[in-house]
Structure 1
Amino acid sequence: MIPKLPGLGPLAALLLAAALSAWLGIAGPISIEGLYRWQNLLAAFAALAAAAIAYTAAMAKVKLDRQISDEQLMRRSLAILLKVEFAIQVLRQEARELEEKLGDWKNKSFKTVDLAISEPKEILEAWETLDLFPGDLILALRTLRASLVLYRTDLAKFDSQVEWESTTLASIKANPTSRASVAAKLLIQQSTDTITALRATITRLTNLLNRA
């Protein structure tokens, strides 16, 4: 354990005791008449000691309040991160299922609406609290969300009820199944990268809270 110096209160008390000891050693025992001449000095020392004690107590409360506030912020951040991490796992699974569906030769055609991948509401909620996230995680979420928005925008260019032949050879501008195949692979990779970043941050926050 690292030794700590006493606070201002104990130091003031020690200073007062030292001054009184020195005075008694020089001037001898205290007389009532002589005490009146020292009352202003004694009052000043008493006021200093009281102020030091009050200051120490106030700073201790400020430190405690800051610690409580920091812990509450970390717990809030952790709760958001856990929800986002779960939602992105679901998103990744949805992208994997779309990739498998497109790769199954038994599936000859798809309606545009069947190729959609929804954006989890947890990502939208996280977007409103980006100030709680570290920089690398913000970048990962931004990249993932940009891909989702771009894919949704591209699908919107096609009639949702029209059936399209499943192919990866056609231009992504001419056939939504080609666009879906590209999007599924990209979203799987980006989801995996984002989950990795999320789990690293979750572990760090959990360790900090356990040590608090």
Structure 2
Amino acid sequence: MNQRYDLLAISLLFVTAVLAAWLGIGGPQGSSLKDWQTLIASAGAIGAATLAYRAAMAKVEVDRAEHKREFLRRQLAQYLKLDIALESFRPAVQLINANLAFSDDGRGVRASALRVKEAPELAEAWDNLDVFPRRLIREIATIRASIRRIDDILDEVAPDRVLFGDTGQPDTRFNILHVEMNSIIEACTLIKTGLKPEIEKLAPIIPIRERISAIYGDPDIDED
């Protein structure tokens, strides 16, 4: 469409220039049209400028629509990646936290077993925070911050060292680790809960009857 506007603008400018030159140089002698030479040239220029403006605005609208489609595509991809990743990440942290809690009976737990490995999708989500709802950005930050604090604590001891402690004793190494892991688990739950309606809006679930009909055919149709 904008190419059409460009062609019209160029054609109008060309016709106006030819007409203005003809009136000024070789137009009919004594013709009153010569008196309108400047006005005709101005009108032609204004018309060409209007067409050029419309072409530019048409391109802006096309670019805006393309940008929106790309943003929604990237948004859905990030939502799905993080949602799927948390399906396994959250249980893994729950298991580590359970091992930490069960170590209160005096058996202890190896330091290396308390490491929380950050899912790559969390780092990717951090690099694409602009596509996430504001209420979930803080939860993503909470997970990453808690992982860093856990790493800082465990960096102070050898990986093969067996640690003993009580998760219920405030301000102890065990208690801090327990609190940080709980923060991660809670943040994961909030993120998954928040992503569910957002994903549903961008990629609605096919109704169960429609799925069954698409897979097995319409049961109301009798085959001869």
TM category (shorter chain) comes to: 0.5 to 0.7
TM-score by length of 1: 0.63
Which of 190, 193, 197 is equivalent to 2:187?
Answer: 190
Deviation at 1:114, TM superposition (A): 1.3
- Secondary structure at 2:160 match in 1: coil
CA contact (8 A) 2:142 2:183 kept: no
Deviation at 1:150, TM superposition (A): 0.8
Letter in 1 for 2:87: Q
Q: How does 1:26-105 map to 2 (within 5 A)?
A: 41-102=39-100
1:91-132 deviations in Å (ceiling 9; x for gaps): 211122224444568994421111221111222223233344
Q: Is the 8 A contact 2:112 2:159 kept in 1?
A: yes
- Going from structure 1 to structure 2, the CA distance change for 1:86 and 1:166 (only over 3 Å counts) comes to farther
The count of corresponding residues between Structure 1 and Structure 2 is 174
What is the match of residue 149 of structure 1?
148
Q: Which moved more, 1:90-99 or 1:77-86?
A: 77-86
% identical equivalent positions: 29
User: In structure 1, the residue corresponding to 2:109 is in which secondary structure?
Assistant: strand
For residues 128-163 of structure 1, give each alpha carbon's deviation from its aligned partner in whole angstroms, at most 9, with x where no partner exists. Answer: 333444432222211221111111211222322122
> What CA distance in whole angstroms lies between the structure 2 residues aligned with 1:179 and 1:58?
59
For residues 168 and 135 of structure 2, the distance between their equivalents in structure 1, rounded to whole angstroms, comes to 35
- Please state whether the residue corresponding to 1:158 is helix, strand or coil: coil
- TM-score (norm. length: structure 2): 0.61
Q: Which runs of 5+ in 1 are unaligned?
A: 1-8, 10-32, 208-212
Distance 1:34 1:121, change over 3 A: same
* Residue matched to 1:20: none
Q: Distance in 2 between matches of 1:145 and 1:98?
A: 16
Structure 1 residue 83 displacement after superposition: 1.8
Alpha carbons of structure 1 residues 114 and 107: separation in structure 2 relative to 1, 3 Å: farther
Which protein has greater RCO, CA pairs closer than 8 Å, 6+ apart?
A: 1
Q: What is the Cα-based RMSD across aligned positions, in Å? A: 3.5
Gaps of at least 5 residues in structure 2 are 1-7, 9-30, 204-224
